[in-house]
Amino acid sequence: MFLSLFIFLYRSLEETEKGRQDLKRQTLFLDTLLDNMPLSIFAKDINKEYRYVLANRQALQMTGLERDKAIGKTDYDLFPIDIADVYRESDKQAV
């Protein structure tokens, strides 16, 4: 009985680890794909004050921002208030 439980738990952990590795590979693939597109692509979480959750290389170059400093921030954290107001209004219209 103990051996069966051990084998079951071991296989479950193996499957979980394989799932994590698959997710990591997929995330890396999508990040690479987005970063190499010639378009400015970004996404914001409208449920969290329009905080940036994604920005590709082109979007970062256009804004002069760095990814680790932009993700999780709002336009008001990153830009002067007059520019942030314009971006926020544009976001609201897009939703």
CA-CA-CA-CA dihedral for 77, 80, 83, 89, to nearest 10: 40
Indicate whether this model's pTM tops 0.75.
Answer: no
Report the b/e string of 21-38 with b at 16+ CB within 10 A: eeeeeeeeeeeeebeeee
Q: Tally Cβ neighbours within 10 Å of residue 67.
A: 15
Per-residue pLDDT, 93: 94
Q: What pLDDT digit, counting tens, does each position of 37-95 carry?
A: 999 999 999 999 999 999 999 999 998 999 999 999 999 999 999 999 999 999 999 98
Q: What pLDDT digit, counting tens, does each position of 4-49 carry?
A: 767 777 788 888 888 899 999 999 999 999 999 999 999 999 999 9
Per-residue pLDDT, 19: 87
Residues 81 and 95: their CA atoms lie apart, in Å, by: 21
